[in-house]
Amino acid sequence: MGQAKKFMYINRHAPCGTAYAVEGLEVVLIGAAFEQDVCMAFIGDGVFQLKQDQDTADTGMKNFSPAYRALGDYEVNRLYVERESLQERGLTEEDLMPLTWEDEDDDWAEKPSIHVVDRTQLSDLIEEQDIILNF
Amino acid sequence: MLHTVNKSPFESSSLKTCLSLAKRDSDVLLIEDGVYGALSGSAHTSWVAEVLGEVRVYALEPDLKARGLSKDKLIPGIEAVSYDGFVELACVNDKIQNWL
Amino acid sequence: MKFSVMVNEGPYTHQAADSAYQFISAALEAGHEIFRVFFYHDGVNNGTRLTTPPQDDRHIVNRWSELATEHDLDMVVCVAAAQRRGIVDSDEAKRNGKDSDNIAPGFRISGLGQLIEAGIESDRLLVFGD
């Protein structure tokens, strides 16, 4: 298949109000089997997808937030969260789910998957990608 | 990189987000309701016009015409292109980011 | 150039299906190749053969089927999104105990891997959505 391409999945929708977040996550998880270089970015309302303590019971909708914890097992361990988007929404990194992955090159040390980056860093990251999909 | 934006700046932050993250020398193509971002004399004109020195902004002509927007209504410096022009922009740019 | 296109919205409610169709037509006209058209989210609704739009408006589904026939396009509807929204071919109908199928000519149902493959194999991947 040649050299792995760099895929970035940009998430800009909040969870629940639309299906873009959950169906976007399905693309990421299934795409992980293709051994490409995958990362995710959360911008704007997309940062809400990673909010802790989501409980959909009273809405009758399925709670998909636990599925984000599987990303580390699928080697999707770079989740870039835009700092400005968090700040605009009155959130800090502590409000987000503590998502981690195990680094087999470092004695399976558990490391955080979420990286809060500012807009300039995110712009640089986007520019590095081969394929960018928005959800 | 070619960025496309399909949302009106009056409805969505997509254009603002796109322009805040697009690198110098990118191509930005406004399509569908995104063409409203090309209008002169609007509440968004000044900040859109400001980026024209850094990125090239285009508006898809069939979408302008469909919405009754003539080329003289556009911010000076924004070029109207056809679908052929859209295809061309997709070819000359190595990468594409479609902001939704 | 080898293009793939992703369509994320259904016919009529959003312009996405129209924009995608116009882009693809222009690309084909210019001599480019379309590797795959992949329908996801509500985009799978482009693949039902049961629409009856007004006669004086474009028939979006038939337009896709005709384009696929004329240019031998690979038009894929995502199975997971299709199951949720009731776009069914005869195999899916049998598998899931449905009393009929509704997939339009020229479309096939397959997995999300087809989207990733399209990204890997194409020179450019464009997304039309909301």
Give the pLDDT confidence of B32-78 residue by residue, as tens digits.
Answer: 999 999 999 999 999 999 999 999 999 999 999 999 999 999 999 99
Mean pLDDT on B4-27: 97
Contact B15, B7 (CB under 8 A): yes
Chain C touching partners, 3 or more CB pairs below 8 A: A, B
Closest by Cβ to B98, choosing from C1, C22, C126: C126
Sign of the C-alpha dihedral, residues B71, B74, B78, B80? Answer: negative
pLDDT band of A14, cuts 50, 70, 90: very high
* Residue C122 forms contact with B (CB below 8 Å): no
CB < 8 Å from C in window 22-41 of A: 23, 26-27, 30-31, 33-34, 36
Contacts of B23 in chain A (CB under 8 A): 123, 127
Indicate the CATH number for domain B2-99.
3.40.1260.10
Show the tokens assigned to A119. Answer: 């807009």
For residue A112, pLDDT beyond 60: yes
Q: pLDDT tens, C41-55?
A: 999 999 999 999 999
Give strand ranges (E) for A1-135. 6-11, 37-42, 79-82, 100-103, 109-112, 114-117, 131-134
In chain C, what are the domains? 2-128 (3.40.1260.10)
CB contact under 8 A, A34 and C115: no
| C40, amino acid identity | Y
d(CA C12, CA B59) in angstroms, rounded, equals 22
Q: Does A126 touch chain B (CB under 8 A)?
A: yes
3-state secondary structure chain C: CEEEEEECCCCCCCCHHHHHHHHHHHHHHCCCEEEEEEECHHHHHHHECCCCCCCCCCCHHHHHHHHHHHHCCCEEEEHHHHHHHCCCCHHHHHHHCCCCCCECCCEEEECCHHHHHHHHHCCEEEEECC
Q: Residue A3: what pLDDT?
A: 83
**Predicted ipTM?**
0.97
Chain A contacts in chain B segment 41-100 (CB below 8 A): 95-100
Cβ contact, residue pair C124, B87, below 8 Å:
no
Q: Touching check for A130 and chain B: CB below 8 Å?
A: yes
**Mind listing the pLDDT tens digit for each residue in A51-88?**
999 999 999 999 999 999 999 999 999 999 999 999 99
Instruction: Determine the pLDDT at residue B84.
Output: 98
Question: Whole-prediction pTM value?
Answer: 0.97
Q: Please list the ranges in chain C whose pLDDT falls under 50.
A: none
Chain C residues near residue B30 by CB distance under 8 angstroms:
none
Contact C30 B32 (CB under 8 A): no
Query: Cβ contact (<8 Å) for A20 and C41?
Result: yes
Give the mean model confidence (pLDDT) for residues B92-97.
97
CB-neighbour burial class of residue B54 (10 A; exposed 0-12, middle 13-18, buried 19+): middle
For residue A47, what pLDDT is reported?
98
**Inter-chain touch C80–A26, beta carbons under 8 Å:** yes
Binding-face residues of A in 11-30 toward B, CB within 8 A: 12
The first and second tokens of residue C89, run together, are: 């071919």
Taking CA–CA distances from C5, the nearest residue in chain A reads A133
The pLDDT of residue B46 is 96
Inter-chain touch B22–A12, beta carbons under 8 Å: no
Q: Reply yes or no on whether the pLDDT at A1 is more than 60.
A: no
Best CATH choice for the domain A6-134 from the list 3.30.70.250, 3.40.50.300, 1.10.3720.10, 3.40.1260.10: 3.40.1260.10
Domain boundaries, chain A: 6-134
Distance CA B72, CA A111 (A): 55
CA–CA separation, C80 vs C68, rounded Å? 22
Residue B17 and residue A12: Cβ atoms within 8 Å?
A: yes
Question: Minimal CA–CA distance to B19: which of B49, B40, B60, B41?
Answer: B49
- pLDDT tier for residue B26 given thresholds of 50, 70 and 90: very high
Q: What is the DSSP letter of A109?
A: E
Average pLDDT over residues A24-30: 95
Q: Is C100 among the catalytic positions?
A: no
Q: How far apart are CA A28 and CA A76, in angstroms?
A: 8
CA distance C90 to C95: 9
The reported pLDDT for the residue numbered C40 is 98
Contact between A42 and A49 under an 8 Å Cβ cutoff? The reply is yes
Strand pairing of A100-103 and A109-112? antiparallel
